[in-house]
Amino acid sequence: MRKKAKYQTWIRIYKLLIFFIISLTFLVVTLLPINLYLRVLSGILALPFIYITFILSYCVYQFASFGGNYQSKIHDLIVSKVDWDGEGRILDIGTGSGSLIIKLAKAFPSSSLTGIDYWGSNWEYSEAKCRQNAEIEGVSDRIDFLKASASELPFKDEEFDIVVSCLTFHEVKDSQNKIEVIKEALRVLKSGGQFVFLDLFMDEKIFGNEKELLNHLKVYGVAELNSYKIDEEMNLPKLLLNKKVLGNAMILSGRK
């Protein structure tokens, strides 16, 4: 029987388990034969943790292949935005467990691809899992995986014809200025090359004012720039459009 590739969702299961255990602990306290005030207080304290546990569980289900499969659908949307003849090099920044880059490898069989990720202990992805998935999907001969930070890519200027990234820039911990992280991605893109970035670009706490962000990129040398709110590009369950999930998500695409 052919092995099936396994792609983890963006939701970290260990965080879900932490909130579940905290919720359960508070609920158990409400059942103990102790002071009524403490039991009521414990019940009140449990509420936000129960809510977060529910949201995370719901997101895992909707993003996973056994549920709504929206992680894969979002990657399909990114691939559909790539308008290219397929001859050249693709870079995927924040490749996770390899879902997006493998879809690109299949869509553009004449391309060579590189996926970079930090694969820190805080995540449930790994370089080994990426390689295994690429082998299972039959595209490992055209994909290189490298451990690197998106804030300092180990490539020369203008090495790639296509650069993509999905929900990575806001997670970069070694650079407070996320606009500089985006510029670093554009640095390695060839003149005339295309980029497709999906991130929480409408979250002003992370990326600043949306108009200023777009102006920064234009000043940096982006010749063509398009922006799309994710809910205008695909139908998503209402809870996934929560501001803490994908409510601030936007696709930026264009050419350098």
Question: Is 35 a domain residue?
Answer: yes
**Distance (Å, rounded) from C-alpha 158 to C-alpha 210?**
26
Q: Are residues 58 and 79 in the same domain?
A: no
Together in a domain, 222 and 96: yes
Our count of domains for the chain comes to 2
Q: Is 35 in the same domain as 78?
A: no
pLDDT in tens, 114-128: 999 999 877 888 999
User: What are the pLDDT digits (tens) for 3-45?
Assistant: 889 999 888 888 999 999 999 999 999 999 999 999 999 999 9
Same domain, 112 and 91: yes
In which domain, by residue range, is 49 found? 13-63
Asked if 214 and 108 sit in the same domain, the reply is yes
DSSP H helices in the chain: 13-30, 36-63, 70-80, 99-107, 127-136, 178-187, 204-207, 210-220, 230-233
Domain membership flag for residue 171: yes
Verify that 167 and 87 share a domain, yes or no.
Answer: yes
> Which pLDDT tens digit goes with each residue over 176-190?
999 999 999 999 999
Cα–Cα dist 231/249, whole Å: 8
Q: Are residues 59 and 182 in the same domain?
A: no
pTM over 0.75: yes
> Where does a domain end: 30, 46, 63?
63
Flag whether 249 is in a domain.
yes
